[in-house]
């Protein structure tokens, strides 16, 4: 049967120097797609969605073969370059879609539990810590946003406690923040290490292929995926390629690609670490969307994440990265004036997807072709459980949680560029203006 062809117009470039990845030992050489490989299932993209889908498919169909195909290295892409908050729930100012938010909390909470279990069971060394997080506000405007955050937690029935400036200082060593809202239940991890560990402990009937970008896909009477040095033929395919799914011609105009940026410092000395409060680690999330996510890691590094940017091009030019590194240095100095010139192990960018209605991208695209994309809030934990549930859906296993994800609204259509670019840039510009003090 003649196959319909879909080409990948753009592949992940992934921005320079993912600091989390760089601080881990060099991985063993990649196994690539070479020659002609035949499998039952091909999962494209080995981020959190792809690793979870492949794991669960293999568990449910132990006699079937699964190929997990990744353009780069596991732990280098977005799932290994985030801020490492594994969120069981989340509240942000003015949550408009409360019913969807409640359903998403059920998913992210189940995702956190599943990840915690996998990390423990397989003894994955990824600095997993059930530390929780503190939402913080530095300026007056953000204090109002912080009230929205705590109101949101009240609506979700999630407990929280308030910290004043002294309370936040006791944890962070900084008087930069005027107030905080502390919430338990979520975890902090070294995300690149977690992703490597998840991929290394996949069931034996999953074969992981890295450095094997899928350049083209033929669909019709099965699927044929073409990589630079070989092909994979599969009965069914699951696309877990995040914002690159649209580059293959699927799920266009469903998610806004927004880039954000992070830097990870070299380890602090004893004297420097003593400036960062009394708990040995922490994780701060900004109440204001323009604010910074800040962590002190167990190996005594500061992670600074901020700056948003419409990212349809999905590229991170060197000049932009230099500018961002400078912003991060200033953000660190604003909180700990003596640490502004601490060296960085890396500065990098990555892309998050946002839907217009906190909707789901989950399920069949066409006969035998499935897709999953984790967007909006708590995408790592929602992606983990989303992959598990999608595999169960494909294998015909029903559950109450599967019904939760199926009952979510589908991600609403977005306007095309240049309209979307204009709207998002205006919104990001406004956030930057109202939240300048938070960065």
Ligand X SMILES: Cc1cc2nc3c(=O)[nH]c(=O)nc-3n(C[C@H](O)[C@H](O)[C@H](O)COP(=O)(O)OP(=O)(O)OC[C@H]3O[C@@H](n4cnc5c(N)ncnc54)[C@H](O)[C@@H]3O)c2cc1C
Which residues in this chain contact ligand X in the complex, by CB under 6 A?
8, 11-12, 44-50, 69-72, 77-79, 81-85, 87, 213-214, 240-242, 244, 260, 262, 305, 350-352, 373-374, 378-380, 383
Q: How far is the CB of 14 from ligand X (least distance, A)?
A: 7
CB-wise, 40 or 211, nearer to ligand X?
211
Residue 381's nearest CA partner among 3, 2, 87 is: 87
Q: How far apart are CA 263 and CA 19, in angstroms?
A: 7
Helix ranges restricted to H, 312-418? 318-335, 379-394, 400-406
What element of type H or E holds 137? strand 133-137
Judge contact between 188 and 84, C-beta under 8 A: yes
Q: Check residue 18 and give left, alpha or beta (phi > 0: left; psi -120 to 50: alpha).
A: beta
Residue 401's nearest CA partner among 42, 56, 86 is: 56
CB-wise, 179 or 305, nearer to ligand X?
305
Q: How far is the CB of 255 from ligand X (least distance, A)?
A: 10
Q: How far apart are CA 26 and CA 65, in angstroms?
A: 28
CB-wise, 34 or 164, nearer to ligand X?
34
CB-wise, 58 or 83, nearer to ligand X?
83
Q: How far is the CB of 217 from ligand X (least distance, A)?
A: 9
What element of type H or E holds 192? helix 191-200
CB-wise, 48 or 138, nearer to ligand X?
48
Cα–Cα separations (whole angstroms), residue 297 to 182, 240, 303: 18, 29, 8
* Residue least distant from ligand X (Cβ): 47
For 277, the 3-state DSSP assignment is: coil
CB-wise, 190 or 205, nearer to ligand X?
190
Phi, psi of 229 (to 5 degrees): -115, 15
**Which residues face 364 on adjacent strands?**
370
Q: How far apart are CA 283 and CA 261, in angstroms?
A: 16
Q: How far is the CB of 117 from ligand X (least distance, A)?
A: 17
Strands (E), 142-301: 161-164, 179-183, 187-188, 206-209, 216-219, 223-227, 230-239, 256-265, 282-286, 293-296
Q: How far is the CB of 45 from ligand X (least distance, A)?
A: 3
CB-wise, 175 or 294, nearer to ligand X?
294
| Interior angle at CA 19, CA 293 and CA 134, nearest 5 | 20
Q: How far is the CB of 317 from ligand X (least distance, A)?
A: 16
Q: How far is the CB of 274 from ligand X (least distance, A)?
A: 26
CB-wise, 179 or 382, nearer to ligand X?
382
Q: How far is the CB of 26 from ligand X (least distance, A)?
A: 18
CB-wise, 50 or 139, nearer to ligand X?
50
Q: How far is the CB of 258 from ligand X (least distance, A)?
A: 8
């Amino acid at each position: 049967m003649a196959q319909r062809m879909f080409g990948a117009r753009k592949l992940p470039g992934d921005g320079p120097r993912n600091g989390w990845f760089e601080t881990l030992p060099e991985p063993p050489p990649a196994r690539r797609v070479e020659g002609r490989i035949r499998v039952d299932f091909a999962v494209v993209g080995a981020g959190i969605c792809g690793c979870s889908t492949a794991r669960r498919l293999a568990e449910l169909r132990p006699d079937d073969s699964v190929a997990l195909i990744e353009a780069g290295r596991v732990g280098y892409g977005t799932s290994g370059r985030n801020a490492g908050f594994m969120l069981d729930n989340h509240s942000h100012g003015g949550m408009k879609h409360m019913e969807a938010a409640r359903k998403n909390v059920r998913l992210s909470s189940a995702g956190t539990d599943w990840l915690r279990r996998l990390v423990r069971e397989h003894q994955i060394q990824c600095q997993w810590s059930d530390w929780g997080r503190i939402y913080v506000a530095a300026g007056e405007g953000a204090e109002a946003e912080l009230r929205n955050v705590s109101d949101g937690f009240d609506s979700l029935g999630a407990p929280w406690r308030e910290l004043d400036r002294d309370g936040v200082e006791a944890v962070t060593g900084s008087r930069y923040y005027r107030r905080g809202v502390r919430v338990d239940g979520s975890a902090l991890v070294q995300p690149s290490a977690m992703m490597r560990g998840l991929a290394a402990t996949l069931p034996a009937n999953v074969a992981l292929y890295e450095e094997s970008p899928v350049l083209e896909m033929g669909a019709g009477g099965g699927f044929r995926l073409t990589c630079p040095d070989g092909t994979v033929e599969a009965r069914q395919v699951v696309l877990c390629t995040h914002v690159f799914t649209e580059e293959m011609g699927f799920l266009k105009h469903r998610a806004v690609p927004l880039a954000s940026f992070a830097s990870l410092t070299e380890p602090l000395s004893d004297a420097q670490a003593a400036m960062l409060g009394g708990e040995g680690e922490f994780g701060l999330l900004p109440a204001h969307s323009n604010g910074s996510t800040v962590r002190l890691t167990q190996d005594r590094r500061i992670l600074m994440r901020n700056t948003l940017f419409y990212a349809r091009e999905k590229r991170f030019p060197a000049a932009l990265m230099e500018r961002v590194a400078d912003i991060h240095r200033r953000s660190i100095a604003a909180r700990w004036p003596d640490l502004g010139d601490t060296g960085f192990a890396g500065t990098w960018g990555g892309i998050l997807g946002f839907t217009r209605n906190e909707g789901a991208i989950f399920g069949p695209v066409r006969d035998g072709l499935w897709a999953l994309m984790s967007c909006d809030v708590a995408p790592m934990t929602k992606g983990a459980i989303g992959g598990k549930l999608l595999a169960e859906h494909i294998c015909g296993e029903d559950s109450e949680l599967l019904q939760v994800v199926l009952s979510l609204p589908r991600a609403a259509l977005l306007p095309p560029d240049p309209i979307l670019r204009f709207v998002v840039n205006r919104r990001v510009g406004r956030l930057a203006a109202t939240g300048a003090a938070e960065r």
